Amino acid sequence: MTRLLYLKLNDASGRLFSSERLVHRDGIFKLETFLPPGLYSFLGRCLTGASAEGSFELGASMSAKQVFEFTLH
C-alpha cells in the first residue's frame, strides 16, 4: 500500500514550483496549484520506490480545470 507520494515540480529553467508530500485517496494523488504558462517537469516517488518523471506545457489559454494524468511505474 502506498499512501504517500513525494512530488517535485520545476519549470523549464529549474525553478522550484512545488515540493509536496501528497496522500492518496483511492489511489489517486491530486495536486492543485497556481502556475504561470510555460514548460514544467515533475518527479514523483512513492514509498514503494516506484517513481515517475515527465513534463508538460501549460498554455496561456488553458482552462483553470485542466487535468493532467500520469502513471507511476
Partner 1 sequence: MPQPSRRTTAIFVAALVLLAAWLWVAGRETRLSPDAVPSGGIAADLDLKAKPIAEQLASSADPAQAERKELAPLASNPAAPASLRIELRYSNGDAGVDLQVVLKPHDIGRHAVSARRLRGQSDAAGRAEFAQLTAGKYQLQVLHPSQFEHDLSLAPGEARTLTIQFDAGILVRGQVLDRESRGVAGAAIWSLVDEMGTSPIAMSGPGGQFLLRDVQPYFGIGATSQIHSPSPRTWIQGDPGDEVEIKLILQGASGTVRGRVLSADSQAVAGALVVFPNRRLPWTFLNGDPMESVTQVRCRTDAEGRFLAEGLPPFELTVEVSAEGHGSIEDKVLVQAGRSSEITLRLTDTAQIHGRVLDENGLGLADIRVSASSRLAGAMGESTSDANGAYRLADLTPGTINLQFLAAGKNLHEELRVLAGEDRLFDLTFASGLQVTGLLVDKLGAPLDEWSIAAVAYRGGSDFSAAETDQRGEFRLEHMQPGCTYRLNISAPDSGFPPNLLLDGIRPGTEPLRIVVPDNALQRGSIRGRVLDAKGKPMQGFHMRVMHMQSEFPCSVDLRDDGEFLAEDLPAGRYWIFIALGPQLRNLPDVELSPGEDVDLGTIQAEELGSLSLQFLNPLGLRPQALAIFDQDMRWIGSVDLLAGGLTDYPMLPGSHFIQVQGEGLSSRAAQVVIRPGEQKVMQLRLESGVKTELQFSFADPEHAMTRSMR
What separation in angstroms does the CA of 48 have from each of 17, 24, 41, 44, 65? 24, 14, 22, 12, 30
Q: How far is the CB of 24 from partner 1 (least distance, A)?
A: 8
Is 47 an interacting residue with respect to partner 1 (CB under 8 A)?
yes
Residue the block writes with cell 507511476: 72
For residue 64, state whether it binds partner 1 (rule: CB under 8 A). yes
12 binds partner 1 (CB under 8 A): no
Residue 66 contacts partner 1 per CB under 8 A: yes
24-32: long-range contacts (C-beta < 8 A, 24 or more apart)? 29/5, 31/7
Q: Which residues bind partner 1 (CB under 8 A)?
A: 1-3, 5, 7-9, 11, 15-23, 25-37, 42, 44, 46-48, 50, 52, 58, 60, 62, 64-73
